Amino acid sequence: MSTTTEKTVYNPEELARENVKRLTPYVPARDKFKNFNHSPIYLDANENPFANGINRYPDPHQEKLKQTIAVRKQVTTKQLFVGNGSNEVLDLIIRTFCEPRIDSIITLPPTYGMFGVLAEINDVENRKVPLGKDFQPDTKKILKACDENTKIIFLCSPNNPTGNSIDESIVVELLNNFNGLVLIDEAYIDFSTKESFVNQLHKYPNLIVVQTLSKAYAAAAIRLGICYASEKIIRLISKIGLPYNTGLLSQKWAFEILRSHNQIKEQVKVLNREKKSLFKYLNKIAFVKTAYPSDANFILVHVDNSKKRYAELLEQGIVVRVPKVPKSLLNVMRITIGTPEENIKLKKALLNIENENSYE
Ligand SMILES: *Cc1c(COP(=O)(O)O)cnc(C)c1O
């Protein structure tokens, strides 16, 4: 493995599975007459012809939605793939590049649990290289864990459940030194002070960025995930994506929600302010050992006994999450930032627990 910062020239297209390279994709009926000027009589897709707003198949390429995203993110529509939530996108990326039982991926626990689950579903080896100091990736250990069959390094920044962003220099080092794909899951990027790697797509042919409308964009219900990568990578992923994977209603909602960008920005401001206040509060609570700084819309909290504290919060009607973490990080809880009103209730509940305990 080269340790220089000079990029080895290779073609990420080569990394795809042979069956994917060979595949001739299905051509949806509505592909043929997309730019027909007059309203034709559609007798090509066996739909019910009586109009009700949803009787026709949606645009299989989500052109209108992609154009909106492309303008906003300053990429081309050919650098975009839109999926049924980012989970579908992540699954497709593994299936495009990883040969079951032969290839491997790298994940950095504690991180988003779906990475490992998707590897298992696809019978692809998941090589775990735990995050190091301050929850930053250990590049030396990661590169050492890779071999010629390691296709993708999964990064999550800001990371779920730890909340921190990965240092830009570390991401760049991996992009420059790994002869495979570096995927960054940016589900929480809109809460972060750091810049998205989408802006660096032109520099790195092996970079894939995944985002979602499920978090900051307040649209978890419509299931809309976005993949940004080079045209070549997007073309490969699109080959195996199922036709019409995003419904008409999701496409419409996504289009609308992206237009309400300014309102989302305001909400993110409020949530980040709430996060700051909750962070301070948590660090004053006796049973909290550490509240970790967060670039996302949640805080990872190290407590004395996570099971007990989880139950006590639940008793007061508050549901938090005890994430699956390595043994070295036992007794943590992940608390999502709610509305200002919800946070007042959360703080009261924390205080109640603390007061109850002082009489024990
Ligand atoms: C919540 C979350 C997602 C969202 O997945 P969707 O399928 O888009 O809802 C993706 N990645 C991470 C790291 C998350 O925490």
Q: Is the CB of 292 under 6 A from ligand 1?
A: no
- pLDDT at position 37: 66
Pairing assessment for the beta strands 104-107 and 150-156 based on DSSP bridges: parallel
* Residue appearing with tokens 């004053």: 284
* Residue appearing with tokens 């042919």: 205
DSSP character at residue 50? S
Distance from the alpha carbon of residue 160 to the mean position of ligand 1, in angstroms? 9
- Integer Cα distance of 285 and 306 in angstroms: 14
C-alpha dihedral sign at 268, 270, 271, 273: positive
pLDDT of 125-134, one tens digit each?
Answer: 999 999 999 9
Whose CA is closest to atom 2 on ligand 1? 187
- Integer Cα distance of 27 and 358 in angstroms: 67
3-state secondary structure of 357: helix
Largest CA distance in the chain: 78
- pLDDT at position 34: 63
Q: Is the CB of 186 under 6 A from ligand 1?
A: no
Confidence check: pLDDT of 1 > 60: no
Confidence check: pLDDT of 7 > 60: no
Question: Which atom of ligand 1 approaches the CA of 225 most closely?
Answer: 8
Distance from the alpha carbon of residue 212 to the mean position of ligand 1, in angstroms? 7
pTM, two decimals, is 0.95
Q: 266-288: buried (b, 16+ CB within 10 Å) or exposed (e) per residue?
A: ebbeebbebbeebbebbeebebb
Mean pLDDT lowest among 103-112, 118-127, 234-243, 321-330: 321-330
Give the mean model confidence (pLDDT) for residues 151-166: 98
pLDDT of 280-326, one tens digit each?
Answer: 999 999 999 999 999 999 999 999 999 999 999 999 999 999 998 88
Q: Is the CB of 107 under 6 A from ligand 1?
A: no
Q: Is the CB of 189 under 6 A from ligand 1?
A: no
- pLDDT at position 358: 67
